[in-house]
Amino acid sequence: MIEEGFVRLYAHDFTALAARAETGMDVEAQVLKRVDEAKSHAALMDARKGTGHLPAVVERLTHEAERQDARAIRAVDDVAGALARRKAFLMRVVKLLGAQAAAKPSMA
Protein backbone atom coordinates (compact mmCIF):
# COMPACT_ATOMS: atom_id res chain seq x y z
CA MET A 1 0.00 0.00 0.00
CA ILE A 2 1.33 3.42 -0.95
CA GLU A 3 2.03 5.64 2.02
CA GLU A 4 0.26 9.00 1.69
CA GLY A 5 2.85 10.65 3.96
CA PHE A 6 5.61 9.70 1.53
CA VAL A 7 3.76 11.23 -1.42
CA ARG A 8 2.87 14.36 0.54
CA LEU A 9 6.46 14.84 1.72
CA TYR A 10 7.98 14.91 -1.75
CA ALA A 11 5.11 16.83 -3.35
CA HIS A 12 5.47 19.50 -0.68
CA ASP A 13 9.23 19.68 -1.05
CA PHE A 14 9.08 20.09 -4.83
CA THR A 15 6.32 22.69 -4.72
CA ALA A 16 8.30 24.61 -2.08
CA LEU A 17 11.34 24.52 -4.36
CA ALA A 18 9.16 25.85 -7.19
CA ALA A 19 8.14 28.77 -4.98
CA ARG A 20 11.78 29.47 -4.09
CA ALA A 21 12.74 29.37 -7.76
CA GLU A 22 10.03 31.93 -8.49
CA THR A 23 11.68 34.32 -6.03
CA GLY A 24 14.92 34.07 -7.99
CA MET A 25 16.77 31.59 -5.80
CA ASP A 26 19.05 29.08 -7.49
CA VAL A 27 17.52 25.75 -6.46
CA GLU A 28 18.97 23.49 -9.17
CA ALA A 29 21.34 21.62 -6.86
CA GLN A 30 18.56 21.13 -4.30
CA VAL A 31 16.20 19.82 -6.98
CA LEU A 32 18.71 17.28 -8.28
CA LYS A 33 19.57 16.14 -4.75
CA ARG A 34 15.90 15.78 -3.79
CA VAL A 35 15.12 13.86 -7.00
CA ASP A 36 17.89 11.36 -6.17
CA GLU A 37 16.61 11.08 -2.59
CA ALA A 38 13.04 10.52 -3.80
CA LYS A 39 14.14 7.76 -6.16
CA SER A 40 16.16 5.89 -3.55
CA HIS A 41 13.53 6.41 -0.84
CA ALA A 42 10.82 5.15 -3.23
CA ALA A 43 12.83 2.00 -3.92
CA LEU A 44 13.08 1.37 -0.18
CA MET A 45 9.38 2.05 0.37
CA ASP A 46 8.44 -0.21 -2.55
CA ALA A 47 10.50 -3.03 -1.06
CA ARG A 48 8.94 -2.64 2.38
CA LYS A 49 5.40 -1.41 1.79
CA GLY A 50 4.46 -2.35 -1.77
CA THR A 51 5.11 -0.92 -5.19
CA GLY A 52 4.10 2.38 -6.74
CA HIS A 53 5.55 5.08 -4.51
CA LEU A 54 7.50 7.02 -7.14
CA PRO A 55 4.66 6.89 -9.69
CA ALA A 56 2.35 8.20 -6.95
CA VAL A 57 4.66 11.19 -6.40
CA VAL A 58 4.77 11.79 -10.16
CA GLU A 59 0.97 11.65 -10.32
CA ARG A 60 0.62 14.10 -7.42
CA LEU A 61 3.14 16.54 -8.92
CA THR A 62 1.38 16.36 -12.29
CA HIS A 63 -1.91 17.17 -10.58
CA GLU A 64 -0.29 19.96 -8.58
CA ALA A 65 1.24 21.45 -11.74
CA GLU A 66 -2.21 21.67 -13.35
CA ARG A 67 -3.75 23.55 -10.42
CA GLN A 68 -4.48 27.17 -11.27
CA ASP A 69 -4.49 28.29 -7.66
CA ALA A 70 -3.07 31.80 -7.32
CA ARG A 71 -2.53 31.17 -3.60
CA ALA A 72 0.37 28.93 -4.60
CA ILE A 73 2.13 32.03 -5.93
CA ARG A 74 3.49 34.67 -3.63
CA ALA A 75 2.58 38.32 -4.26
CA VAL A 76 3.55 38.97 -7.88
CA ASP A 77 2.19 41.25 -10.58
CA ASP A 78 2.10 38.55 -13.27
CA VAL A 79 0.08 35.74 -11.68
CA ALA A 80 -0.53 33.95 -14.99
CA GLY A 81 3.19 34.00 -15.80
CA ALA A 82 4.10 32.80 -12.32
CA LEU A 83 1.62 29.92 -12.58
CA ALA A 84 3.04 28.97 -15.98
CA ARG A 85 6.60 28.99 -14.60
CA ARG A 86 5.47 26.90 -11.60
CA LYS A 87 3.84 24.37 -13.94
CA ALA A 88 6.98 24.19 -16.11
CA PHE A 89 9.15 23.72 -13.00
CA LEU A 90 7.00 20.90 -11.63
CA MET A 91 6.70 19.17 -15.00
CA ARG A 92 10.50 19.28 -15.30
CA VAL A 93 10.72 17.57 -11.90
CA VAL A 94 8.26 14.93 -13.16
CA LYS A 95 10.58 14.27 -16.10
CA LEU A 96 13.59 14.06 -13.78
CA LEU A 97 11.77 11.55 -11.61
CA GLY A 98 11.09 9.53 -14.72
CA ALA A 99 7.91 8.76 -16.54
CA GLN A 100 7.49 5.67 -14.40
CA ALA A 101 3.90 6.61 -13.67
CA ALA A 102 2.44 4.84 -16.67
CA ALA A 103 0.43 2.68 -14.34
CA LYS A 104 -1.26 5.16 -12.04
CA PRO A 105 -1.55 3.65 -8.57
CA SER A 106 -4.50 4.35 -6.37
CA MET A 107 -3.98 5.99 -2.99
CA ALA A 108 -6.37 3.55 -1.30
d(CA 6, CA 20): 21
Residue 78: band (very low, low, confident or very high) from pLDDT cuts 50, 70, 90:
confident
Note whether 54 and 41 are within 8 A (CB): no
Which of 10-14, 45-49, 69-73, 74-78 is predicted least confidently?
69-73
User: How much is the pTM?
Assistant: 0.85
The average confidence (pLDDT) of the chain is 88
Structural domain boundaries in the chain: 4-97
**Looking at residue 72, what is its pLDDT?**
65
